[in-house]
Amino acid sequence: MQRRRFCSLALAAIFLFATFPAYLVAEDVAYTRQEDVVYGRKHGLALTMDVFTPKQNANGVGLVWVISASWRSSHEAIRPQFADDFLKRGYTVFAVVHGSQPRFSIPEMIEDLHRAVRFVRSRAAEHHIDPERIGIYGASAGGHLALMMATAGDKGNPEAKDLVDRQSSRVQAVACFFPPTDFLNYGRAGQVMLGRSPGSRSRPAFEFREFDNDSKSFVPITDEQKVLEIGRQISPAHHVSPDDPPVWIMHGDADPLVPLQQSELIVAKLKEAGVTAELVVKPGGAHPWLGIEKDFPLLADWFDKHLAKK
């Protein structure tokens, strides 16, 4: 049954991003929007983000918003309503579109997020934000990728030719909804969830590949031990360390797609490591739940607490 849950991630994500505006009427927010800012390139394609800047009361904090639903990402999925509560409080929001399945797999998406955070930090002066006060948020797959930056962000390569790649991809606070956190212990200990169940709409995201020098092409990774190791590498729960930033998660106790256990597991590990972490359980909450817009101020409160200057 739990494998079937994962097959429907895309459908729930489509609901989250496509129908959300239907029941949320946003107030007018004074901001500017810079669209299709190129933060990187790969395989001849441009990686882009939209930058939302408040016209007044800017607080000097940047928030990376991960545009991802079932690890699908597109410019069309950027809904300004998801940035409203942050813009009202003075946050500058960077809506990041990553390489999307079915063309790209999760390890490649994680690299895109590293690049995006480095890019935002490298442009801190241009956008009038503090490079040491960058938060990140997302829902479902977006929450998973946000937590990867929380637990596996790095200091950058000081010898990189590209000045952006010399920047750190670490973030200073995270807030997210119902994220997958451990693909090797999904719902219960030892339950592997790598998108391989029949009919899974997430399968392409888990089709890991490696470059073959003989054929000069990317070939599928079929060795089961290698696949499981990659599954561990893309699971934020396996990267928890004492220097991780504060993490806030909200998860419904009736989620039919991503088990509540996923959030309980990582929050327990974070607390064990001495990291500030909080899990808010939404009674009856599915994936997502109607009225989720009323909970967005809670994410903003978390960023206010951990990123706003006193």
- What confidence tens digit (pLDDT) does each residue in 117-173 have? 999 999 999 999 999 999 999 999 999 999 999 999 999 999 999 999 999 999 999
CA distance 304 to 154: 24
Residue 11 has pLDDT above 80, yes or no: no
Computed over every residue of the chain, the mean pLDDT equals 91
Give the per-residue pLDDT at 200. Answer: 74
Q: Give the CATH number, domain containing residue 158.
A: 3.40.50.1820
Tell me whether residue 178 is in a domain. Answer: yes
Q: Is residue 268 part of a domain?
A: yes
Alpha helices (H) along the chain: 2-7, 9-18, 20-23, 84-88, 106-122, 124-127, 141-152, 224-233, 260-272, 296-307
Checking if the pLDDT of 79 tops 60, the result is: yes
pLDDT: is 1 or 226 the higher one? 226
Query: pLDDT, tens digit, for every residue of 202-223?
Result: 899 999 999 888 888 899 999 9
Q: What is the pLDDT of residue 119?
A: 98
In a domain, 106, yes or no: yes
- What the block records as the tokens of 284 is 């009856």
Q: Is residue 291 in some structural domain?
A: yes
Q: Which amino acid is at 222?
A: T
Range of the domain at 50: 2-305
Residue 310 lies in a domain: no
Position 34 in a domain: yes
Residue type, 3: R
- Name which of 129, 106, 60 is nearest 308 in CA terms: 60
pLDDT at site 274: 98
Percent of the chain with pLDDT over 70: 90
Evaluate whether residue 238 is within a structural domain.
Answer: yes
User: How many domains, in total, are found in the chain?
Assistant: 1
pLDDT at 4 over 80: no
| Residue 202 maps to a domain | yes
Predicted TM-score (pTM) of the model is: 0.91
pLDDT given at position 308: 87
* Edge-first strand listing for the sheet containing 62-67: 31-42, 45-54, 92-97, 62-67, 134-139, 173-177, 247-252, 277-282
Q: Which amino acid is at 235?
A: S
